[in-house]
Amino acid sequence: MGIYIPASKRERLLQYKYSSTDLSLTSKYILTPFWNRLVLLFPKTMAPNAITLLGLSLVFGNFLTLLYYNPTLSTGTKPLHVNKGGTWDPLFPPTSSEPSVMSTFFTWLTGRSAAHFADHGAPRWLYFTFAAGLFAYQSLDAIDGKQARRTGTSGPLGELFDHGCDALNTTLGCLLVASALNLGLSWWTVASLVATQANFYVSTWEEFHTGTLFLSAFSGPVEGILLVVGVFIITGFKGPGFWDTGVLSFFGLHPSTNSFLASLPFHVKDLPINDLFLCFSSVGLLFNIYAALKNISVAMPAESRNLSSLVKPLTRLSPFIAQTLAMLGWIHARERLLLRTTLFIPLALFWGIASAHHVQLVILAHLTKSPFPSALYHPLVVLTVLAALDARFKVFQTTDERVKQAVLGCLAIAFLVYSHFVWEVIGDICRFYDINCLTIKRKPPPGSAGHHDSPAEIAQAHGKGKAPVREKNTPVAIDADPTGVKQPTAAGTLKRAKAQ
> What was the pLDDT predicted at 285?
82
Of the candidates 172, 235, 184, the one whose C-alpha atom is nearest the C-alpha of residue 74 is 184
Q: Mean pLDDT across the chain, nearest whole number?
A: 83
> What was the pLDDT predicted at 500?
39
Q: Helix 318-333 crosses helix 344-367 at what angle (to 10 degrees)?
A: 170
Q: Does residue 35 fall inside a structural domain? A: yes
Q: Does residue 12 fall inside a structural domain? A: no
> What was the pLDDT predicted at 292?
87
The pLDDT of residue 229 is above 70:
yes
> What was the pLDDT predicted at 264?
65
Q: Rounded distance, CA 49 to CA 145, Å?
A: 9
**In terms of residue numbers, what domain contains 285?**
17-314+438-490
> What was the pLDDT predicted at 463?
66
- Helix ranges (H only) for 11-113 are 25-26, 32-38, 48-69, 103-110
Least confident of 4-18, 117-131, 359-373: 117-131
pLDDT greater at residue 434 or residue 75: 434
Q: Does residue 115 fall inside a structural domain? A: yes
- The DSSP secondary structure of 370-419, one letter per residue, reads PPPP-GGG-HHHHHHHHHHHHHHHTSS--SHHHHHHHHHHHHHHHHHHHH
**Residue 206's pLDDT band (cuts 50, 70, 90):** very high
Structural domains in the chain (count): 1
The pLDDT of residue 96 is above 60:
no
The pLDDT of residue 487 is above 70:
no
**Residue 490's pLDDT band (cuts 50, 70, 90):** very low
The pLDDT of residue 477 is above 60:
no
pLDDT digits (tens, 9 = 90+) for 15-54: 888 888 888 889 989 999 999 999 999 999 999 999 999 9
**Residue 75's pLDDT band (cuts 50, 70, 90):** confident
Q: Does residue 370 fall inside a structural domain? A: no
> What was the pLDDT predicted at 21?
84
Q: In the beta sheet, which residues pair with residue 20? A: 213
Residue 469 sits at φ, ψ, to 5 deg, of: -110, 130
Q: Does residue 460 fall inside a structural domain? A: yes
Kindly state the average pLDDT of the residues 72-80: 78
- The DSSP secondary structure of 248-278, one letter per residue, reads HHHTT--TTT-HHHHHSSSPPP--BHHHHHH
The pLDDT of residue 263 is above 50:
yes
Angle at the Cα of 220 from the Cα atoms of 322 and 326, rounded to 5 degrees: 15
pLDDT digits (tens, 9 = 90+) for 344-359: 999 999 999 999 999 9
Q: Does residue 68 fall inside a structural domain? A: yes
**Residue 146's pLDDT band (cuts 50, 70, 90):** very high
Q: Which of 40-59 are b and which e, b meaning 16 or more Cβ less than 10 Å from the residue's Cβ?
A: eebeeebbbbbbbbbbbebb
> What was the pLDDT predicted at 167?
96
**Residue 469's pLDDT band (cuts 50, 70, 90):** very low
**Residue 458's pLDDT band (cuts 50, 70, 90):** confident
The pLDDT of residue 343 is above 80:
yes
Q: Rounded distance, CA 97 to CA 340, Å?
A: 5
Q: Does residue 342 fall inside a structural domain? A: no
Q: Rounded distance, CA 496 to CA 487, Å?
A: 14
**Residue 100's pLDDT band (cuts 50, 70, 90):** very low
Query: Which residues belong to the active site?
Result: 163
Q: Does residue 362 fall inside a structural domain? A: no
C-alpha distance across the termini of the chain, in Å: 19
pLDDT digits (tens, 9 = 90+) for 155-175: 999 999 999 999 999 999 999
Kindly state the average pLDDT of the residues 217-228: 88
Of the candidates 450, 424, 452, the one whose C-alpha atom is nearest the C-alpha of residue 437 is 424
The pLDDT of residue 474 is above 50:
no
> What was the pLDDT predicted at 55?
98
Among 216-225, 297-306, 364-373, name the most confident range: 364-373
Tell me if residue 318 falls in helix, strand or coil.
Answer: helix
